[in-house]
Each structure stands twice: as C-alpha cells, then as structure tokens.
Amino acid sequence: MSRSDPAAFPENGGRYEIRLRGHLDDRWSAWFEGHRLTRQDDGTTTLDCSVPDQAALHGLLHRVRDVGLPLISVTPIAAEGVLQVPGAGR
Amino acid sequence: MSTIPIALLETKLHLPTLRQGHVARLRLGQRLDVETLPALTLISAPPGFGKTSLLAEWLAGSATDRTVAWVSLDPGDNDPVSFWTYVISALGRAEPGVGDRSLALLGESPGVDFRTLLTLLLNDLASAVRDVVLVLDDYHVIEATELQEGVAFLVGSLPPQLRTVIASRSDPPFPLARLRGRGELLELRAADLRFTRQEADEYLSGMLRVQVRPAHVDALEQRTEGWIAALQLAALSMQRVDDVGAFVEGFAGDDRYILDYLVEEVLDHQSADVRGFLLRTSILSRLTGPLCDAVAGGSRGTAHLEALDRANLFVVPLDDRRRWYRYHHLFGDVLQARLVEELPELVPELHRRASEWFEQNGEPGDAVRHALGGGDPERAADLIESTIPAMRQSRREATLRRWLDALPDDVFPDRPALAVAAAGSRLGVGETSLVEERLGQAARSLASPATSAAHPGLSGWVAIYRSASAQLRGDLVATVQHADEALRLIAADDGAARGAVQSLRGIADWSRGDLDAAYAAFSAGMDSLGQAGFVTDVVGGTVVLADIRIAQGRPSDARTLYEQALLRGTAGGAELRGIADMHVGLAALDIEADDLAGAQVHLRQSDELGEHKGFPQNPYRSRVVRARLAELRGDPAVALALVDEASEVFTSDFSPNVRPIPALRARMVLRLGRLDEAARWADGRMLGADDELGYLSEYEHLTLARILVAQARRSPAGPALRQAVALLSRLLQAAESGSRGGSVVEALALLALASRLQNDSRSAFRSLDRALTLAEPQGHVRLFLDEGRPMEGLIRSAASRADAPRFAGALLTAFAQAWPADEAHADVLTDRELGVLRLLATDLSGPDIARQLVVSLNTVRTHSKNIYSKLGVGDRRAAVRRAGELGLLRSPRP
C-alpha cells in the first residue's frame, strides 16, 4: 500500500465512492448526510463522500443497508493535491 | 417475579401479529422444524424480506410444547442492563421462575459479570419444565462488543431446553463457521426468503382479489427480484389503479431505485393530510395517537394510525389492543429520508415536540434521544441532568455514559452536576481521558458561591473523582491529597461520599505499604458506608480489611473480620452477595493454621452458595486457595492446574495486587523441588537481589529470597547464599519500618534458614526465636511447615536449648503429623540408603562401609550419590549434618 492510499490509513478517513444499484432521487442526498449523488448511465448511483474516519463510513453503509439499497462497491478516492496513486480511485 | 431493574416497555416483548394478506411460507416453515432446531437459527437478510412475519407465522402455527420468549430490540438495548433485563424477562414470562435470581443480581450490582449472570440463567433453564424458543428480533441494532460476547456465550452453552432464533440485517459477529460445522446453526438468508414466482403470484392475486396475468407477475417478479417489501408496495398501488398493465409496464421499464418509485406511487394516492402525517411522524420509533398529535399537530392521530393499519400501509401494531404501532423499519426510513429533504427546517421542531411529549409522559430516555436527535443539546443536557439519580438507581450507567459522551463540550461549563457525572461515568469504566477536563469545568463553575450553594456536596465529589482519577493513573501522592481535600468538603452525614473517599485513601495507603494508615482509613470508610446502608459493599470490603490484617501479620484479626462479616451478610436469613468470598477467606486462614479439614468445609460452603454470591474476584481467589489445599493433600498436578486457572479468571479491582499469582505459582513449584522452573520465573520478572525494594514487589522479592536459599542449599559454594542473606536483611528492615508483620515473620524464618546454611547457628537461632515468638499468637503454623525438613531440623536443634520459645514444641508435633503427607511425594530414603547414611555418620572409610555391608565400593558410591541428591547436599559432611537435623540418625525405623 502506498502512503497516499487512504485505505492504508483508514483511521484518518478520506474520500470514498459508494456505488449502489438503481437510480436514486436527489432527495436521498439529505438522508446520506448531504453527500452528492450521481446517477450513472449503467443504472447505478454513486455517492461521493468525504468522511472524517472509518466510523463515519460505516455509519453511511448502515444507512445503505437500512433502506435495502443493493451495494455494489466502496472505493477509496485519492484526494486532490495529494500524490496520485495509480489504481486508487476508479 | 423479583425486582426488575428498569421499567419494561411491554411492546418490546410482544409477539407480532400476522398481517392481512400474509402468504404462508410453507417451504420455509418446513425447514424450521421446532423439534429439531439447532442451538441457533439465524434469519439474516436486508430489510423488507419478511423476517419478522416469517417468525410470527411459524411461532403462531407450530403446535409444540415450546413456548416463545420474544424480544424486539432497539438501539437503546446496547446498554447491558437494558438488554439482559429484556431477554431475561422474556424468558421468565415464557417459563415462570426462570431468571428470577439473575434479574435480582442485575438490579443489585453494578458491572455484574455477564458469565455469572448467564450461568445462573442457564441453570434455571436446564431445570425448566417446558422448552423455550428465545427470539431476538432486529439484532443488527446491537453493536456493544460486551453484548455480542454475552450472546455468543449464551448460544454456545445452551441446554436442550432453550433454542435461540436471531433475526438481523447483518450477520452477528459470532463464530458462525464453527456452529455451522457442528450442525448447531440453521440459516435462512435473503435467497431463501425472497418470494418465488409462485409465491409472488399467490400474494398479488390475494391482495388484488383477482388472478393477476402471468406476464404481469413475471414482470413484477423480475423487477423486484422477489423483494417482498417492493411487491407489497406494488400490490398497494395496483389495488388503486384502473390499468394494471400500464402500471406494471411503467414500473418494470423504470430504472429508478424501486422503493423510490413505489413509495412515490403510494404517497401520491394519499390525501395531503395523511401524507403530511406520515412524513412528520416518521421520526418516531413508536407511534400512539396522542404522541402523533403532539408531534404532527391535529387530533386525528389515532384515526390515522387505525386507517393505516386497515389499509396495510407501513405500520406494524405493537400490542393486541392496537394502541402502539411502529412504522415498518424500511418504510419509516424511506419516509424519514423524504422528510429531511422536503421539510428540513421542520425536523428539529418535530424532535422537540416528541421530546416534550415523552418528558411529560415520564419516559426520559426517549425524551433525551429526541432532544439529541433534534440537535438540541441544551435541552438534552437539562433532561439528562434531571434523570441522573434514576439512571444510577437502575444501574444503567452505560446509557448515561453514551448520552453524556454525545453532548458537546460547551454544555458542561454551566452545568457542574452534569460535568461531575460525566467524569464519574468515565471513571466507572476505567477511562481517564476527559475526566480532568470535566472536573476542571465543574470546579470553575463551583468557584462562584451562588453556584456552589445551589449544588451542596458537589465540590466534594470533584475532589473524590480527582482522587479516583489519580489512583487510576497510579499517582498515589495525588490520590491521598485529593482524598484529604474531599474529606474536608463532604458533609459529615454524607455516608456514601465519606465512605467512598475514605476507602480510596485506604487503598492508596495500602499501595504505599503504610498498612496502619490503610487499615484505619479503609475501616472508617466501611463504617461510613455501613451507616449509609450499603451493607453489601461493607461485606465486600471485608476482603480488603482482612488482606491488610494478614499483611500486618495478624491473621487471627483477619479471621474475626471474616466471621463478623459472615454474620452480617447472613443476618435474618439473608444471603448477601460477598458471603461466598468470606468463606474463601476463612478457608485460606484455616490452611495457614494447618486446619485443612476446616478449609475444606469453607470451600464447600462457598461452592454451594454459587458464583452469584461472590464478587468478581472470588473465582480467582477461591482457585488459589483450592490449589494450596490440593498441594497439601499431595496432588501437585491438580494444584498447578488450579493456579493456572486462577490466572485465567483473574480480575483486578481497586486493590493493589500484592500477591501476584505468578509469584504464588513460583513458590509452589519451588516447594515441589522444581528449583530451575522457579528461577526462570524470577529471571522473567527480572528480579534481582540488589533491586530497590517496595511494598508492591515485596511478595515477589520474598519469593526470590526463597529461590536463592534453595540454590544455596544445592550449591553451597555459589553466591546465592550471600545474596539471600543480604536481600532478606533488607526485606526485614523494610517490612519492620512499615509495620508489615506478615513479611517480618516470613523474612525472619527464611533468614534463620540462610544463617543455618552459613553454619552461623547463633544468628539462625536469634532469627528463628523472633519468628517463633511473633508467629505463636497467630497460630501461623504453615509458614514453618512449608519449609520442610531443613526447617524441622533447625527447630529441633533450637528446641534443645533451655530458653527456646514454646512454639517450637508445637511446631515439631505439627511436623511429625505432616510427615506422612510429605513422604507421599517427597524423595524418601530407602531402607538400604538409610543404612548407608548411618555408616556415613561414622568415621568408617568407603571401602570399610562396602565391606561391612558386603557390597562393592561402586554400590556404596551409587547409594551415597542418591542420598546426597535426596537430601539436597553436595558431600558426606553436609549429608551427615542434614541427616542429624532431620532426625534420620536416631534409630532404625520399625
């Protein structure tokens, strides 16, 4: 793991992309603590989240679970301005 | 039913009723055969897969002898007191009598060990008349590690009378693979639960009261993938639309998240009134008419709920009288997601109204939850402050701690009582972070005379917690300093506070090795607590007082303390917690006085009382005593196994660990003649004869001294003897200056043995005489017997003097009686070796001895080597001296 890979230092949180099956209305943004929703052409919705730590990420995943949304992936995204890591992010 | 620690919410123990339009899940029911259920049945699937309905159908339908204990869990049940109260109460209702003792235990003692609690419960269940199924619904809300461990322990130790069923949105962190491997796990997962095409057909046709066209069923089944919640919403919409085909086509061709699509369809068909009601009340985890009116406005709450119930829309009744409902969790969350999007400014206000309603209706827990949920920490802080005494009373420290931790920093400076409670709740779990900060906030606020006058006694608690915090950090000077400050601040009649601080001070003095001060302070603390009515704490505190007395070299006073506490704890037929500890303490004293039969009786009485009559330290303490007894009965394997068990179950309390189990074990292996193993312990602890001495390591250093004496005996030329004498002299001096009589007499006895090895009989007798004089009034026989033949020999020599202490004679008698037991496992000389030994005591040469015995010289040498090794000596002279001490040269044995 490279130093700038957020997953290597999960206690510090970071940016994650949560990908869900189905198109979610924008109204869900408030439910997911204001994180931005993007509906993708492949019928999925991505949730772009900055979380302070792992506990907050797990909190969001609980919310995904609790409304029965099918979870496809959780991907760490290298923060801008930090060293870009090949393969990190998408 | 005995006292229940907290007020129960009846609806949580209510077996849900079946919903209208329910599809019987025969194929699943067959797998849930009640007669062959394994220990754990796990129903694990996302929300909306019909977990609860399946269980309700199965439990209502299965004609069986098993009765049902149902618990619907919620996030508040992460408090162990709340969780176990519900679980045990549910079991008690299913099978009367089960759990009465565990509930009482939960109510009376803070931080009760869940193994003790569950062991009691399992014992009840093992003798239950009827078989019980325990259902824990919505288990995914449980996150507390302690509870996960508790439930895993329960599932792993079930008697056949109890089976557990857990319904959860995610798998619990139990060793599922192991349970699966042993055939003790039955799983129903999403793939099993989702509607098959046939079930979807049956369900839709039933709901719509007409046969649905196969193409429509196919389309819906594919789009929803058998997700029951979605099919249910689809059916609701299809009931209303004229053109079912168009609805199905529109739904199937849309790639929105299906719940979004379907909920919108359903909400669009509701009146504005109902729609507003649904959104506004979605913040509530349970619903009743008046509460809904208070939150959503209007007066039609009850009517709305009944209508929703009839229309099969979103709500689940929580009782038979249909007074309380909840939203189906999934829809409640979807509705709430809409609420925060459509009416965000209203959300805090809705929570405030809910909080007020719960406050007025005497449910402070929900009032606090909504105040926190609505982002009103000031209100939450006020509510928490007013409910602190009730929460303490019901031992729900965990909930209180969670609330206090959820409050932001800025509510504390103006609320000294809250800040002090926050400090106390963290200290209660051994946590020192934030403690100083909260106490500082309280102290600054209390500096104002008006604030101080409004909170009588609070300044004293600030000092008490500062003292406790210092103790947790190991700062004994600050512990004593704050304790003294607290004593000046606390009112004379506040027995609880005085008792707490005096005990703290006593423990600090004990840790410093100042036993007289420790005894005085701790004993005063117990008096204060006793006057304030805390009898159980006083009984428990006896262990501390008795330990101090033993360290002072006054075991007979320790005995009196235990006996008095036993009377107090059993007065009027009561059986207070802690009386098991008293019996164990008495057993230990009996052993030291060489009354093994008496010790046996006390240990049996402790056993019969059961673990729940003991404090958390009793399991390890009783094993230590049992180990000693096994050793003295000549069963070293059992003794060592018990010591190792004691290590495993060791739990510390506030008391200093003055007799660490590993040191105790080293002494035991040393007595068994395993000197190298004992020496390895000392090396591992990095103990040395030149160490700086302190009370907390005194027992270890005395153990090291024993090891050195044994090494000196084995190789007299080595440095061990000199080291032993120097170490013992320093230990003696330290113990004398701290009035630690127990260590004084021990050091003297060992010093006498060491001086004897130095061939310095004068010093040996002087030390021995002092030891005997000190030990006699206390009946301290074991100390001398433990040293075996060398000590017997020394006492025998000493007793021949005219002015020898009387106790010497009594000890020689005790040695004579102990002898057979010793011989059972000690190296004993054979008759042949005894014969050789007697000739070695003459001035015959080796060849002379061989000739006299008519054996070869080699044989004599072999015998001699064996004799030296058995006597632990290196040459003929030493062997003869030792034989004299042991009385082996007097006359041939019969």
pLDDT (tens digit, 9 = 90+) per residue, B691-749? Answer: 999 999 999 999 999 999 999 998 888 899 999 999 999 999 999 998 999 999 999 99
Residues of B within 8 A of A22 (CB-CB) are 255-258, 260
Beta-carbon pairs below 8 A across chains A and B: 61
Over residues B228-246, the mean pLDDT reads 87
Question: How far apart are the CA of A78 and the nearest CA of chain B, in angstroms?
Answer: 28
Residues of A within 8 A of B47 (CB-CB) are 65-68
CB B612 within 8 A of CB B116: yes
Q: Does residue B46 belong to the interface with chain A, where contact is any CB pair within 8 Å?
A: yes
Q: Among B338-342, B444-448, B814-818, which stretch is predicted with the lowest mean pLDDT?
A: B814-818
The yes-or-no verdict on residue B856 having pLDDT over 90 is no
A85 inside domain: no
Question: How far apart are the CA of B671 and the nearest CA of chain A, in angstroms?
Answer: 51
The yes-or-no verdict on residue B888 having pLDDT over 80 is no
| pLDDT for B376 | 94
Question: What are B181-210's pLDDT values in tens digits?
Answer: 888 999 999 999 999 999 999 988 888 888
| pLDDT for A3 | 42
The yes-or-no verdict on residue A87 having pLDDT over 80 is no
Q: Count CB atoms within 10 A of the CB of residue B722.
A: 14
Question: What are B570-581's pLDDT values in tens digits?
Answer: 888 778 888 999
Q: Count CB atoms within 10 A of the CB of residue B865.
A: 10
Q: Which domain CATH number covers A71?
A: 3.30.70.1150
Q: Count CB atoms within 10 A of the CB of residue B694.
A: 12
> Would you place residue B1 in the very low, low, confident or very high pLDDT band (cuts 50, 70, 90)?
very low
Containing structural domain, residue A36? 6-77
Distance CA B276, CA B296 (A): 8
Interface mutation vs chain B, best among A66, A71, A72, most B CBs within 10 Å: A66
| pLDDT for B827 | 54
Q: When comparing pLDDT for B885 and B237, which is higher?
A: B237
| pLDDT for B581 | 93
The upper half-sphere exposure of residue B240, i.e. CA atoms within 13 Å in the direction of its Cβ, equals 12
The yes-or-no verdict on residue A83 having pLDDT over 80 is no
Q: Considering chain A, what is the average pLDDT of its residues? A: 76
> Would you place residue A27 in the very low, low, confident or very high pLDDT band (cuts 50, 70, 90)?
confident
Q: Count CB atoms within 10 A of the CB of residue B110.
A: 11
Q: Do B337 and A67 touch (CB under 8 A)?
A: yes
CB B420 within 8 A of CB B442: yes
Question: How far apart are the CA of A46 and the nearest CA of chain B, in angstroms?
Answer: 13
Interface of B with A in 251-270 (CB under 8 A): 255-260
Over residues B835-839, the mean pLDDT reads 85
Structure tokens at B107: 């109510």
Residues of B within 8 A of A23 (CB-CB) are 255-257, 260
The yes-or-no verdict on residue B547 having pLDDT over 80 is yes
- Complex-level ipTM: 0.74
| pLDDT for B789 | 86
- Residue in chain A nearest B256 by alpha carbon: A23
The yes-or-no verdict on residue B451 having pLDDT over 90 is yes
Distance CA B111, CA B777 (A): 41
The yes-or-no verdict on residue B650 having pLDDT over 60 is yes
What is the DSSP secondary structure assignment for residue A70, as one 8-state letter? P
Question: What are B453-499's pLDDT values in tens digits?
Answer: 999 889 999 999 999 999 888 898 999 999 999 999 998 888 888 99
CB B833 within 8 A of CB B866: yes
Q: Which of A53-57, B277-281, B402-406 has maximum average pLDDT?
A: B277-281
Distance CA B494, CA B481 (A): 20
Q: CA angle, B81 as apex, B351 and B616 as ends, to 5°? A: 150
Q: Among B35-49, B298-312, B644-658, which stretch is predicted with the lowest mean pLDDT?
A: B644-658
- Residue in chain A nearest B227 by alpha carbon: A68
Question: What are B676-696's pLDDT values in tens digits?
Answer: 999 999 999 999 999 999 999
Q: Among B13-17, B202-206, B637-641, which stretch is predicted with the lowest mean pLDDT?
A: B13-17
> Would you place residue B26 in the very low, low, confident or very high pLDDT band (cuts 50, 70, 90)?
confident
- What is the tally of structural domains in chain A? 1
Q: When comparing pLDDT for A76 and B378, which is higher?
A: B378
A25 inside domain: yes
B375: left (phi over 0), alpha (psi -120 to 50) or beta: left
Of B170, B229, B259, the CB nearest to A65: B170
Closest CA to B584 of B636, B547, B557: B547
CB B814 within 8 A of CB B783: no
The upper half-sphere exposure of residue B63, i.e. CA atoms within 13 Å in the direction of its Cβ, equals 0
Residue A58 is inside which H or E element, if any? helix A54-66
Distance CA B72, CA B95 (A): 18
Q: Does residue B338 belong to the interface with chain A, where contact is any CB pair within 8 Å?
A: yes
The yes-or-no verdict on residue A90 having pLDDT over 70 is no
> Would you place residue A9 in the very low, low, confident or very high pLDDT band (cuts 50, 70, 90)?
low
Over residues A52-66, the mean pLDDT reads 87
| pLDDT for A85 | 38
- CA A17 to the chain's CA centroid: 3
A82 inside domain: no
Of B48, B330, B337, the CB nearest to A27: B337
> Would you place residue A68 in the very low, low, confident or very high pLDDT band (cuts 50, 70, 90)?
confident
| pLDDT for B757 | 92
Structure tokens at B42: 């796990």
Give Cα separations from B861 to B827, B867, B874 (angstroms).
18, 10, 13
Q: Do B47 and A67 touch (CB under 8 A)?
A: yes
A31 inside domain: yes
Q: When comparing pLDDT for B2 and B70, which is higher?
A: B70
Q: Considering chain B, what is the average pLDDT of its residues? A: 88
| pLDDT for B4 | 52
Q: Tell me the percentage of chain B whose pLDDT exceeds 70.
A: 96
